[in-house]
Amino acid sequence: MTESVSAYMTRLGQAARAASRVLARTSTGQKNLALSAIADALGEDREALVAANAEDVVAATAAGLEPALLDRLTLTPARIDAMINGLKQVAALPDPVGAVRDLSARPSGIQIGKMRVPLGVIGIIYESRPNVTIDAASLCLKSGNATILRGGSEAIRSNRAIAACIQKGLAKVGLPAAAVQVVETTDRAAVGALITMPEFVDVIVPRGGKNLIERISNDARVPVIKHLDGICHVYVDEAADLAKAESIAFNAKCYRYGICGAMETLLVDAKVAETFLPAMARRFEEKGVELRGCERTRDLIQALPATEADWSTEYLAPILSIRIVEGLDEAIEHINHYGSHHTDAIVTENLGRSRRFLAEVDSSSVMVNAPTCFADGFEYGLGAEIGISTDKLHARGPVGLEGLTSEKYVVFGDGHVRS
């Protein structure tokens, strides 16, 4: 391109800001029509999508991209169908925008309430999966936000082809082209520009590895919805139903090792450890999960010694650290100290301790008698998620449509004045 990257990004930003004003007043019906029209375009242009993606795959293979990332990059017919279904699902979700709550009268005569509104312009920075382009665009569009999407350079041809379908859909229903923009340059300076334009971009959602997210958070001058570690715990209380505890802990670890909601540390109350741990350990061993235990754990079962570093490690692998604790206080203390404020669970039949666990564990999701792997936007009924936030302000946990909005005060008077 002839213009500089920064001039290009400024142009995208200005166009996104203008489009966000239009989206803020677009009806739910029209947004849903746009989502359907984009789904139709993906169906019609299936061959072009596959062809563009094949070029990306060839180039990435030649460049030596590792197999796991190559797999993520590849658009199969099933993945295109999943994108189309995803669009239809988002169209079917209730629109959060415009809802007014707590509208009530004040002694002065005015009425006050809170109205849910779009954030404005959302920048998404992600790596190889081209399907994120559709997931993110659909959630942002439905919540009335303009989007600037910056995918990985290895997926640029796929993303351009998907962007063409999005443009077709937007044009069909008369929405501005800048409602969804895909950054067309692979120049890294584009990311630097995107995260430092608070006048045009209201929030950044980075999706990718911890390094990417930390780098973006450090450099951004725009708020970032972050997802860092998922160091998740299951605590087996003295009043646990041990059969439930075993299936919950097993599922929390083994449902899928690589997800952020996977359990990394199992905490067991000393009062039930001797009864609980041997059978539990056998199940993990049969599954090939490596166990690393505290000293007291290793008195009861075979396990490697856990080091201090283990308590704060997100394995994302068939490895589990196990620690025996003296009751609820020590469990909560451990979780708040070593955990990542993501998702933590207690297994207990005791009401009082379950209530304390919910109130005192400082994590975005706290669970009673359920495995941590349930931490997921689809499982939570959000329809889809743009990410899982480990921040404390604004959205915590899986971020769906509501997390892409905020609330403003609305005030109604009839000529009332302040005296």
How many Å apart are CA 234 and CA 342, to the nearest integer?
Answer: 12
Angle (CA) 315 318 319, round 5°: 55
How many Å apart are CA 204 and CA 194, to the nearest integer?
Answer: 8
Cβ nearer to its own copies, comparing 88 with 101: 101
Cβ nearer to its own copies, comparing 101 with 188: 101
Nearest CA-CA partner of 371 in 246, 224, 203: 246
- Minimum CB separation of residue 151 from its own copies in Å reads 24
Q: List CB contacts of 407: < 8 A, sequence separation 6 or more.
A: 101, 114, 115, 116, 117
Residue 156, number of CB atoms within 10 A of its CB: 20
Cβ nearer to its own copies, comparing 157 with 334: 334
Cβ nearer to its own copies, comparing 310 with 344: 344
- Minimum CB separation of residue 63 from its own copies in Å reads 36
Taken in order 405, 343, 259, 239, the sign of the CA dihedral is negative
Phi-psi label, residue 203: left if phi above 0, alpha if psi -120 to 50, beta otherwise: beta
- Minimum CB separation of residue 332 from its own copies in Å reads 8
Cβ nearer to its own copies, comparing 188 with 287: 287
- Minimum CB separation of residue 293 from its own copies in Å reads 23
- What is the Cα Rg of the chain in Å? 24
Cβ nearer to its own copies, comparing 106 with 188: 106
- Minimum CB separation of residue 211 from its own copies in Å reads 18
- Minimum CB separation of residue 179 from its own copies in Å reads 15
* Residues lying near its own copies in the complex (CB under 8 A): 21, 24-25, 98, 104, 106, 108, 110, 112, 115, 117, 119-120, 202-203, 223, 241, 243-244, 247-248, 250-251, 255, 332, 336, 345, 356, 358-360, 362-371, 373-375, 379-381, 391-394, 396-398, 406-418
Give, in order, the Cα–Cα distances in Å from 313 to each of 251, 256, 264, 369.
19, 17, 8, 24
Nearest CA-CA partner of 404 in 22, 83, 137, 31: 137
